Structures are given as structure tokens and as C-alpha cells.
């Protein structure tokens, strides 16, 4: 659960940074930080799947939510910024579902 909570925290920071970039200024440094935060979220979710598999079995929901956050959200950056924001926000809504199901 710790890795999902870390991913949620990084996810919130990344969404706010993306909003800042969309409406204010889009610099090379902010894009680099945005990308590094995305890699950090991916690392946290992959490590969650690995640790959860060793201590308990992963469910289909675990795999689907992590697949969505790891592949669909980064792929959506090729689309419009607002659609990318909507897809990313859906990922942020789905991540706490992993915590709720485990409790």
C-alpha cells in the first residue's frame, strides 16, 4: 500500500505541474520534471505490483488500474492537453480504488 500512496502523491504533484504548464508557461525544465514524475509514478506502480505479488496475489483490478496509469495516460499526451488532463485525472480517481479494495 505504501507504493500506491506514494504514486498518488506524485500523481497529484504531476497533475498540478501539468496544469501549470498548460495554462502558464511550458518550459524545458518543467517538461523534464513532468516526465521524471511520470517515470517515478511508473516505478511506484510496477514496484507495487511486484511486492503485492510476492506477499499476496494481484487481482485483475490491480493489473487493469496499473496498466491504465502506466500505458494509457502517457500515450494520451499525444492528444490534446485537455484530453490528456481528463485521462490523467481518471487515473488519479482509479488509484485510491486499489487501496479501498485491499482494506
Q: What is the pTM of this model?
A: 0.86
pLDDT tens-digit profile of 10-55? 999 998 888 888 888 788 888 898 889 989 999 999 998 899 888 8
Q: Is the pLDDT of residue 1 over 80?
A: no
Q: How far is CA 50 from CA 5, 19, 30, 81, 91, in A?
A: 15, 31, 30, 32, 20
pLDDT tens-digit profile of 48-103? 889 988 888 888 888 898 898 888 888 888 888 888 888 888 888 888 888 888 76
CA distance 89 to 103: 23
Amino acid at each position: 500500500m505504501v507504493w500506491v500512496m506514494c504514486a498518488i502523491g506524485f500523481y497529484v504533484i504531476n497533475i498540478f505541474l501539468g496544469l501549470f504548464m498548460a495554462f502558464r508557461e511550458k518550459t524545458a525544465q518543467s517538461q523534464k520534471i513532468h516526465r521524471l514524475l511520470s517515470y517515478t509514478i511508473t516505478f511506484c506502480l510496477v514496484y507495487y505490483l511486484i511486492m503485492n505479488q510476492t506477499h499476496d496475489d494481484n487481482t485483475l483490478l490491480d493489473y487493469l488500474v496499473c496498466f491504465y496509469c502506466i500505458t494509457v495516460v502517457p500515450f494520451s499526451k499525444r492528444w490534446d492537453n485537455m484530453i490528456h488532463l481528463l485521462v490523467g485525472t481518471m487515473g488519479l480517481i482509479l488509484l485510491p480504488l486499489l487501496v479501498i479494495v485491499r482494506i
